[in-house]
Amino acid sequence: MAVGRKTGGRQKGTPNKLTADLKGMILSALDEAGGIEYLRRRADDSPAAFLSLVGKVLPMQVTGDPNNPVSIVTKVELVALK
């Protein structure tokens, strides 16, 4: 037994078969429901649910191009009060 070392099972990054099958079923159902037009209707009649879906498909971390990195600019403004 190799303590702390993976010796069997799926390779790292390989999706679980059940997860892959479920994703395929969801995409098939979306296609049969009307695809993009269906999603547009849901955005209009149920924006909270639609935005929840959008949040699930957006990347969790924003990264920039290594040659043009993302930067944050903070501005502090002092205002005199009377």
- Cα separation, 56 vs 61, in Å, equals 12
pLDDT given at position 16: 79
pLDDT, mean over the chain: 84
Mean pLDDT of 52-78: 81
pLDDT given at position 2: 61
Q: Is the per-residue pLDDT at 1 higher than 60?
A: no
pTM (2 d.p.)? 0.53
Contact between 38 and 30 under an 8 Å Cβ cutoff? The reply is yes
- Cα separation, 35 vs 28, in Å, equals 9
- Cα separation, 37 vs 30, in Å, equals 10
Q: For residue range 8-42, what is the model confidence (pLDDT) as tens digits?
A: 777 777 777 888 898 899 999 999 999 999 999 99
Contact between 42 and 49 under an 8 Å Cβ cutoff? The reply is yes
